[in-house]
Amino acid sequence: LYNPIKIFYKTYILQNIRALFLKKHLSSKYLNFEEIKRTNFAFFPLHTEPEVSLMVRAPHCVNQIEIIRNIARSLPTGLKLLVKEHPVAIGKRKFGFYRKLLDIPNVNLVNPSINAQEIISNSKMVFTINSSIGQDAIILGKPVICFGDVSYQVLPNVLRLKSFENIG
């Protein structure tokens, strides 16, 4: 049943309160742009949830924490995985989600205010489920590994993986 008051509360009030809470508690954990430039890393942009691109085009990828865990575990020594929140999703996820990400060895969170193209420019590669960030990475000459179906998967420098067994 459509309830406009409940939607308004969740979208504008609760999300903004949660965003302020996250900013206060995570700001010391975020890498800033200067730290990013000194880091050897791969980049994974978080996808919004719920989202049709995840639920329909990549139903095997709805647990982004496990995807990140698998990627981080498969990276070569010396290469970190930097994760950035989707701009639309700031304040939608609970603090526990980020705590789980920070518990994964070799994973760092990036300040969500940093432009994604600047992160991509400094990355060695980009992992995505099926984000348009992959297109940005291709334009910037970075290799892309995607886990879901994307229109650009036929291009050079793009590898479409159907399972996590082949990440390494």
61-93 per-position pLDDT tens digit: 889 999 999 999 999 999 999 999 999 999 999
pTM for this entry: 0.91
**Whose CA is closest to 145, among 79, 88, 87, 92?**
79
Confidence of residue 125 (pLDDT cuts 50, 70, 90): very high
Sign for the pseudo-dihedral over CA of 15, 21, 23, 28: negative
Closest CA to 23 of 84, 108, 82, 91: 91
Q: Which residues contact 89 (CB under 8 A, 6 or more apart)?
A: 46, 48, 49
Q: Rounded to a whole number, what is the distance in angstroms from the first to the last CA of the chain?
A: 46
